[in-house]
Structure 1
Amino acid sequence: MSGSATLLARLRARRRPPGGQRFGRRPERPAPAGEFNRRLLAPMVLGSVLNPINSSMIAVALVPVGIAFGAPPAETAWLVTALYLATAVGQPVLGRLVDDYGPRRLYLAGTALVGLAGLLGALAPSLGLLVAARVLLGLGTSAAYPAAMHLTRSEAERTGRSSPTGVLTALAVAGQTVAVIGPTFGGLLIGLGGWRTVFAVNVPLSLTCLALGLSRLPAAAPRRNRGDRLDHTGIALFAALLLTLMLFVMKPGTARWYLPVLTVLAAAGFAVRETRTRTPFIDLRALARNRPLVATYLRQVLGNTGTYAFLYGYTQWLEEGRGLGAATAGLVLLPLSLTGLAVSAVTGRSPAVRGKLVAGSVFQMAAAAALLLLDPASPVVLLVAVGLLAGVPQGLTGLGNQAALYHQADPAAIASAAGLLRTFMYLGAMAASAANAAYFPHGATTGGLHHLALFMLGGAGLLFLVVLPDRSLGRVGAAARRRN
C-alpha cells in the first residue's frame, strides 16, 4: 500500500502546474524574454471594460426601471450616481491594495464582487437594493484597471521595454469601444429579457474573468510589511472628501451649502493625516514633488469635463433643441465615437505624448467653437461634422494622459496612481453634468448650448495652456523612443 501511495503522489505532482496552482489545463509557460506575455491581455482587457460597460448600459434601463418600481427620474438617476461615486472612491483604494498585495488577488476579488452584484441586481425587489447593487458594481469594477496597469508595468520591467504602447492602446481602445456599444448592447439585452438582464449579464462576465484570472494571472507575494497597516483613516477622509464634493457638484445650490463646508473640512483632515502618518494612503509629499503627475491629473479633469459636457449637452440639444428623435440623434453621434476609436488606434503606438495632448486640446477648442455655429435649422451634415471634430480629442487626450501617467508615476505605486487617474476622470464627468444642469435649466435650448460652448471653450483653452509649456511631456516621449 505504501508503494502504491508513493506512486500516486508522484503522478499527482507531475500533473500539478508549477507554483502549486491547480487551475488551468496545462502548466503556465513563461513568456519569451523581451516579449509581453500575451496571455495576460485577455483578463486585463476584459476586466478593465467591466466598468465602462456598466456605466453605459444603464442609460437605456433607467426608463423601464422607473416604470417597474414607480420611481421618478430623480430617483432612478441614483443608479448612475451610485456607480460613479463608488468608482471614484474605489479606484484609488483598490489601486493601493493592488500595489500592496499584487494584482491577482484584487482582480479575482473584484470580479467576484461584480458577479455577486449582478445577481443582486437581477433579483432586487426594490429600487434601494438596485442602487446597492450599483454601488457593489462600482467597487467590484474598480480593481481590474489598476491591476492591468500594474501588470503592464511588471511586464515592462521583465522585458526591459519601458513603453508598451500596444498594451496601453489596447486598454484605451477597449474602454472606448465598450462605452460606445454599451447602450446598444443594453438595449438588445432588455429586448431579450427585460431590464434585469442588464444586471444579470455581469454574472457570466464575472465567471469568465475569474476563469481567465485564475488560469493566467501570476501570483505575487505581498509587498506590504507585516508592521505596516492600511491607512483606514486616510481612506475614510478621502472618501468623505470625494462624496461631499461630488454630491454638491452634481446638484449645486445654496440649500446645500453644508456640502462644500464638509468638503473643505475633509480635505483639511486628509492633508493633515497623510502628511503625518508613517504609511499614508496617498503620499501627498511625494505627489507634490512629482509636478508632472499633478499636471496629468489636472489635464484629466479638464479634458474629461470638455468631453462629457459635449457628450451630454450636444446629445440633449440634438433631441430637444434640434428636434431629432432618439434613434436619429444616436446615428448623428455614431461618427464621433468611431472617430475617437480610429484616432486612438492610429496614434496609439506612437510614444509621443506631448503632440497628442496639444492636438487634443486644439481640436477640443475647435469642437467647442463649432457649437456656436449651430441653430435649430442646422443641416444634418453640419451636425455630423461637429461630432466628427469632437471625436478627435476624445481619441487623443485620454490616451495621452494614460501614457504620461505610466511614465511619471512611481513604479511601486502605479496601480494607485492609475486609480486616481480614473477618479479625476469622474470628477470631470461630474463637473460636466453640473455645467449642463446650469446652462439647460429648463431644457436644451440653442442659447443654452451656446453658453455651454463658451464654458467648454474656456476649459479647452486652459487645457492647452497646461499642456503647451510642460516640457516634461516631450522628455517622456523621447525617453520612450530611445529605450524601445
Structure 2
Amino acid sequence: MSNKPRTGLAVAGLSLGTALNPLNSSMIAVALVVLRADFGLDVATVTWVITSFYLSSAAGQPLMGRLADRFGPRRMFMLGMALVAVTCALAPFSPNFALLCVARAVMALGTATAYPSAVVMVGDIAHRAKLESARPLGRIQMANTSAAAVGPVLGGLLVGFVGWEALFLVNVPLSLAALLIVRQTAPADTARERGSLAELLRDSDIPGILAFVSSLLLVMMAMLDVAPGYRWYLLGAGTVVAALFAWRELRFSPPFLDLRLLGRNRPLMLVYVGFAVFNGVYYFVFFGLPQLLQEAGGYDPGLVGLLMLPMATLSVLSTPWAVRAMGRFGVRRVMIAGVVLLTGAAALTWLLTASLAVPLVLALTALIGIPYGVVSIASNQGMFVSTLPQERGVAAGIFQTCRYVGAITATVLIGVFAGSGVDQESWGQMVLAMLVLSAVVFGVTLLWRERRD
C-alpha cells in the first residue's frame, strides 16, 4: 500500500476513535426521559448518567495525554479502544442505574485516550507523509466537533427503534474498527519511558486526580441539593478540596493538571476559560432542549433526534467554512464572530417559552449549530497555536477537560432550574443563564491574542 492511502487510513482511524467521546456524550441527550421512566428517576438523578461520563472524561483526558507522551500514543489509543469495546458489550446488562453510571464512567475513560493520543500522533503521520500537520489535525478536529453534533440524531434513532441499550452496543464495532485501523496503519511508537507499576502510580498524581474529581463532585452535590440541609457544607467542602488540589498541583511534578502551563501561557488560559463557558451555554440547549420537547411538547425520542438534525448539519457545514475563514481573517476574528452568533441564537431560544412548533424548533436548532461549529474549531485551533509542540499532548487533554467542565455545569444547572421536569417556565430561566454565560465568553474572547514567541 502506498504511503498516501496509509496516511489517509491512519487519520480515518484516529478520527473514528476521537469521535467516540463526543458522540457518546451527546447521544445520551435523547435517552434521558426514557431512562427516567425505565429506572423511576427524577431529573436531578438522571443527570448522573451524564455527569459520571464527564467526570471520568475530565479526569482522564489530561492523564491520558501525559501517558501517551510517556508510553506511546499508539499503544494508549489501542488500549482505550479495547476498554470501550468490552465495557459497551456488557453495559446493556446493568441491573440498576448505579451500575449503568459506572459503565458510562469506564467507557469515558477508554474514549478519553483517543484525542490526546491522536494529537501526539499527528506530528509523526504528517512527517511520514510530508504534509503540514494542520491538514490531518484539521480532519481530526472536524471529527471531534461533528460527532457531538450528530449524536442526538443517531441517539434518537437508536433509542426510538431499539432502546437505550443500543447507545452502548453501537460502540463495540466502532471502537474495534478504530483499533484495527490504527494498529495496521499508524506509525509505531518511538522509544518511550519505561518503569515499574509502582513508578507509574507514583508519577500519575493519584491524589491530584482524586482531589479534582472530589471537588467537582461535592460542588455538584451541593448545587443539586442531594443532601437537604447540608448544601452549604458540601459547597464549602468542595471549595476547600479545590484549593488543596491547586496547592498540590503547583508543587507536584509531574502534575495531573499542569497549572504552571496555564500560569505562564495567558493565551492558552483564555482559550480554556472561554471554551469551558461556551460549552456551558451550548449544553444548556443540547441537554435541555430534548427534555423540553419530550416533556412539554410530547414528542417521541425518534422525532426529537430528527428535530436536532439541523443543529448537526449546520455544525458540520460551518466547520470547514470556519477553517477557511481562519486562514483569511485569523483565529480571533472568527472566534468573536462565532460568539456573537451564539449570543443571538441563545436569545432567540426564548421563543420556545411561547411555542414548541416544529418549524420554530427546526429554525432554532439550525441557528445554534452554526456557532457551535465555528467556536469549537476556532477554539481548537487557538489551543494548538498557543502551545509548544512538546506540550500539545497535555494541552489537548486539558482542552477536552474544559469541554466537560462546561457540560457538567450545564447539566447541574438544568437540574437546579428544572428539578421536577423541563417545562417552558424553567426554560425561560435557562435562557437567562445562557445569556449571562454568553456575555462572559464574549469578554474572554476579546482579551485573547494569538501567542507569538
324 and 211 in structure 1: CA distance in 2 versus 1, 3 angstrom threshold: closer
The question of 1:84 aligning with 2:58 is answered: no
For the pair shown, the structure with the greater C-alpha radius of gyration is 1
**Structure 1: which amino acid aligns with 2:216?**
L
| Residues 360 and 393 in structure 1, CA contact (< 8 A), matched pair in contact too | yes
Q: Which one of 406, 413, 424 corresponds to residue 435 of structure 1?
A: 413
Counterparts of 2:87 and 2:17 in 1: how far apart (Å)? 15
CA contact (8 A) 1:366 1:389 kept: no
Report the residue type matching 2:408 in the other structure: M
Structure 2 residue matching 1:221: 3-state secondary structure = coil
Among candidates 206, 213, 226, match of residue 239 of structure 1:
213
Aligned mates of 2:282, 2:72 — CA distance in 1: 33
Secondary structure of 1:49's counterpart equals: helix
CA distance in 2, matches of 1:143, 1:443: 35
Which of 125, 144, 165 aligns to 1:196? It is 165
The answer (yes or no) to whether the contact 1:250–1:430 under 8 Å persists in 2 is no
- Pick one of 211, 215, 219 that aligns with 2:188: 219
Cα 1:434–1:44 change in 2 (3 A) is: same
Q: Separation in 2 of the partners of 1:390 and 1:186?
A: 19
My pick for the range that moved more, 210-219 or 322-331, is 322-331
TM-superposed deviation, 1:431: 1.6
Aligned residues: 444
Partner of 1:397: 375
Instruction: Give, as a single letter, the amino acid of the residue that structure 1 aligns with 2:264.
Output: R
How far is 1:327 from its partner?
5.3
1:167 and 2:136 are equivalent in the alignment = yes
Query: Equivalent of 1:415, from 368, 393, 398?
Result: 393
Q: CA deviation at 1:305?
A: 1.0
1:79-478 equivalences in 2 (<5 Å): 79-155=49-125, 164=134, 166-186=135-155, 188-189=157-158, 195-224=164-193, 229-249=203-223, 255-320=230-295, 329-349=304-324, 350-351=326-327, 352-377=330-355, 380-441=358-419, 443-472=421-450
Deviations 1:51-108 (A, max 9, x none): 1232233345556666666666665543333212211111111111112122111101
Measure the CA separation in 1 of the matches of 2:281 and 2:207: 34
Question: 2:163, 2:424 → 1: CA distance?
Answer: 36
Cα 1:327–1:422, aligned 2, differ >3 Å: closer, same or farther?
same
One-letter amino acid matched to 1:178: A
The 1-side partners of 2:355 and 2:84 are apart by 46
Amino acid at match of 2:318: V
Shift of 1:373: 4.5
Q: Per-residue displacement from partner, 1:258-289 (whole Å, max 9, x unpaired)?
A: 33333333223223322223433333223201
2:116–2:396 Cα contact (<8 Å) kept? yes
CA distance in 1, matches of 2:427, 2:33: 25
1:3: which partner in 2?
none
Contact between 1:122 and 1:196, CA under 8 Å: does it hold in 2? Answer: yes
Q: Is the 8 A contact 2:350 2:431 kept in 1?
A: yes
The Cα of 1:406 is off from its aligned counterpart by: 1.1
Relative distance call for 1:466 and 1:75 in structure 2 (3 A) is closer
Question: Residue deviations 1:343-387, cap 9 Å, x none?
Answer: 112222444311221011101111122234454257654443333
- Give the TM-score, by structure 2 length: 0.85
- Consecutive unaligned residues of structure 1, counting only runs of 5 or more, are 1-25, 477-484
Residues 382 and 450, structure 2, Cα contact 8 Å, conserved in 1: no
Alpha-carbon distance in structure 2 between the residues aligned to 1:225 and 1:445: 55
Give the residue type in structure 2 aligned to 1:363.
L
Given that 2:156 and 2:304 are in contact with CA atoms closer than 8 Å, whether structure 1 keeps it comes out as: no
Deviations 1:224-256 (A, max 9, x none): 476893333333333333333444455587633
Q: Do the aligned residues in 2 keep the contact of 1:321 with 1:444 (CA within 8 Å)?
A: yes
In structure 2, runs of 5+ residues without a counterpart are none
The TM-score, its normalising length taken from structure 1, stands at 0.80
* 2:41 aligned with 1:43: no
